[in-house]
Amino acid sequence: MINEKELTNFYKPLIDEAEKYCFYLLTKNYDAKIGLKLSRLLTYKGEEHPYEYPIPVISIKGLLNFEFFVDKVVVTARIKLANFDKLNLDLFKKYDTKFFGYKEYNYFFCDVFDDEDKINTAINKLKELDEKILGIQIYLKKDNLEYDLINIIKLIKKDNLFYLNEDDQL
């Protein structure tokens, strides 16, 4: 059984890090809010990693979440499938990115960005499954995080295609 000291030792660095970046985003005039969010499944590099513990999250109102893990930060947002064609996928090639259908969590991964046929096949499959909304997850390494946080916000804000529902936010 894990004790309170071990929990504190685990969470304090994550929460301190998230608070630091939340303050940084506030100084850059972003509507940022910090809190804890319980999530149950993370798919990373094609493997599912179930977890059942709260994670520190920074929400940028109406736009995206930054979820802080021990070894990475995961950005989450939504886009309407109807708007996906307007998206410049080349902008996301720099990052480990995946899109998924919200209804059934049908995943396709960033490696499809190099093959137009794979992208079209995945989009058609999602349409067949009657998906209307896609989720995006972008995995950030923790080095150079200040730059990446701002860059991702600008990327997600570009063309006003992405959003968060109120139930996604803190």
Q: What is the pLDDT of residues 14-25, one digit of tens each?
A: 999 999 999 999
Strands, E assignment, the chain:
32-44, 47-60, 64-68, 73-80, 96-101, 107-109, 133-140, 162-163
What whole-number distance in Å separates Cα of residue 168 and Cα of residue 160?
17
Q: 117: which 2 tokens?
A: 């046929």
CATH number of the domain within which 150 lies:
3.30.930.10
Per-residue pLDDT at 96: 82
Residue pointed to by tokens 């989720």: 135
Q: What is the pTM assigned to this prediction?
A: 0.82
CB 94 within 8 A of CB 151: no
Task: Show pLDDT as tens, one digit a residue, over the chain (170 residues).
Answer: 788 998 888 889 999 999 999 999 999 999 999 999 876 555 555 666 666 778 899 999 889 999 998 889 999 888 887 887 787 777 777 888 877 776 655 555 444 455 666 667 766 776 776 777 888 888 899 988 999 999 999 988 887 877 776 666 65
Per-residue pLDDT at 87: 79
Per-residue pLDDT at 110: 41
Per the structure, the complete domain to which residue 87 belongs is given by: 4-168
Amino acid at 99: F
Number of domains into which the chain is organized: 1
